[in-house]
């Protein structure tokens, strides 16, 4: 459940999972000086995260963070946009998942103005699922 970091030019986005006082949280912080200093952390989760974070920079002014969240319907891979100033988009469901370690760590990469997501799907067999989303 380690951190995720991405950089483009002098802009850096760092996302991580932590449990201060046994309260799980997913946070992100930004740097505009190649990581010499970071902004105050911005909380991203919906209240019951399990971790497994990833981050990608959509531009110098926006990142996309993903994490695993426990919901009423079971574990879910969630995502949300965020700016260095703390402006957050609504979180959205990327896929249903499993809270077990077998479900792995969802990952994403930016390609030609789109974001490619990959995650493990577990049922009787484990398979890698992918999705391609054009981010505005």
pLDDT tens-digit profile of 41-52? 999 999 999 999
Tally of structural domains, the chain: 1
The reported pLDDT for the residue numbered 125 is 73
The reported pLDDT for the residue numbered 135 is 78
Q: Domain range for residue 94?
A: 4-98
Average pLDDT for 39-66? 97
The pLDDT of residue 78 is above 90: yes
When pLDDT is cut at 50, 70 and 90, the band that residue 4 belongs to is very high
Residue 135: partners with Cβ closer than 8 Å, 6 or more residues away: 58, 64, 81, 113, 114, 115
Indicate whether 36 belongs to any domain. yes
Indicate whether 121 belongs to any domain. no
Q: Which residue has the tokens 């993903």?
A: 66
Indicate whether 128 belongs to any domain. no
The reported pLDDT for the residue numbered 82 is 98
Q: Is 108 exposed, middle or buried (0-12, 13-18, 19+ CB in 10 A)?
A: buried
Indicate whether 37 belongs to any domain. yes
Average pLDDT for 3-30? 97
Indicate whether 133 belongs to any domain. no
């Amino acid at each position: 459940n380690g951190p995720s970091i991405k950089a483009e030019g002098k802009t850096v986005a760092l996302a991580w999972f932590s449990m201060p006082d046994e309260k799980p949280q997913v946070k992100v912080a930004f740097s505009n000086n190649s990581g010499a200093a970071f902004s105050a952390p911005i909380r991203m989760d919906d209240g019951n995260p399990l971790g497994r974070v990833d981050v990608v920079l959509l531009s110098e002014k926006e990142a996309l963070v993903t994490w695993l969240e426990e919901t009423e319907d079971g574990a879910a891979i969630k995502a949300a946009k965020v700016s260095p100033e703390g402006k957050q988009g609504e979180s959205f469901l990327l896929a249903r998942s499993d809270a077990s370690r077998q479900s792995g760590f969802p990952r994403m990469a930016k390609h030609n103005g789109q974001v490619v997501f990959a995650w493990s799907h577990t049922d009787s067999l484990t398979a890698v699922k992918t999705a391609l989303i054009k981010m505005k």
